[in-house]
Structure 1
Amino acid sequence: MPNPAHTESRNPVKRRGGRRLLAVLALPAALLLGLGLYWFQPWKLWQDATVHESLPAASPSAAAPPTTRSPAEGAPGTAPATPQTLAQGTLISHEHTTTGTAKLIRLPDGSHTLRLENLDTSNGPDLRVWLTDAPVKEGTAGWRVFDDGAYVSLGKLKGNKGDQNYAIPAGVNPSDYGSVTIWCDRFDVSFGAAALTTV
């Protein structure tokens, strides 16, 4: 017959060993959870950042106005006195529901800006605005095509809602790119995109 005193003396040892094991397992689990939260940042899906920017009169880093030729007169002239929309397109949804309009605009000083109007998409980690030469495809086939060819990052997405402007660097020829994407650089996926059609 077992000795009760002997049995009771072993139980605390087992309990202490179990606690130590739990403590050892809890540390890496907490680290993994922290890394996962940092990487995915799921709370951003419930946080909106709304930006309302007016159309700029000129790019902050613009050069002198280039000489242009008027199609009507066939004579040299200066850049138009008002902003001109050169191309535009409607944003379609990719990994996240996305709506709004993308416009490629030439400013009076000859510089260019990409304007997103009435944008509505999800927030997320490391979102960028890209000009690309990739075709815009519906559905999952279009989620990951935008880093396959040429692209130019215009910077971080300022907000997941509203109207916002993204200056196009002076050395970039906008006509080399036919689409725009809201690109999640962390997971290499498009939230939404638009094909730019000449106006």
Structure 2
Amino acid sequence: MKNTNKQELSTEEQEELLKTLKTRFEKNMKRHAGIEWMKVQAKLEGNTEKLYSINEMEMTEGEPDVIGYDEKTGEYLFCDCSPESPKGRRSICYDHTALQARKEHKPADSAMNMAADMGIDLLTEEQYKALQELGSFDLKTSSWIQTPAEIRKLGGALFCDRRYNHIFTYHNGADSYYSARGFRGMLRV
């Protein structure tokens, strides 16, 4: 479910965001070896509706950065690269169904709702593990990931973190939420 609102940033907001992204890109070259910023910037300037989503990632403290390029589609892959699960996306359950199922002490939102509103996707388990090859993420927090339908149908949801220099995938009830669990997103541009 993608955000279909054509929300756009002002010219000033776009310029400020591009400046922030360029600075982060240049500081973290190992995340995107062989990718040139000018090509990324040109792609972003040609897809300004995607800047809204990247800005949402930034505003929730996800620190989005380019982590790859899809040769088949010609798209750059932006991912949340904050050291810990983004602060503005924690204390949430997995999806809308889980949120509605809670009788009391409901969290403010769910990971799937927030991702859809932002126009991004939760990481898959494979994407999460690939991100961890670019650095050490979620040493103190954890992040919800896309959960297979057969697990979700039984009430569960998956999340990952990095502990003891290993990447772990766990399960929890989809309606659970913790102050140290949020989600990381991916956006193709």
The TM-score by the shorter chain falls in which range?
under 0.3
Which has the higher Rg, Structure 1 or Structure 2? 1
Q: Give the structure with the higher percent strand.
A: 1
TM-score by length of 1: 0.24
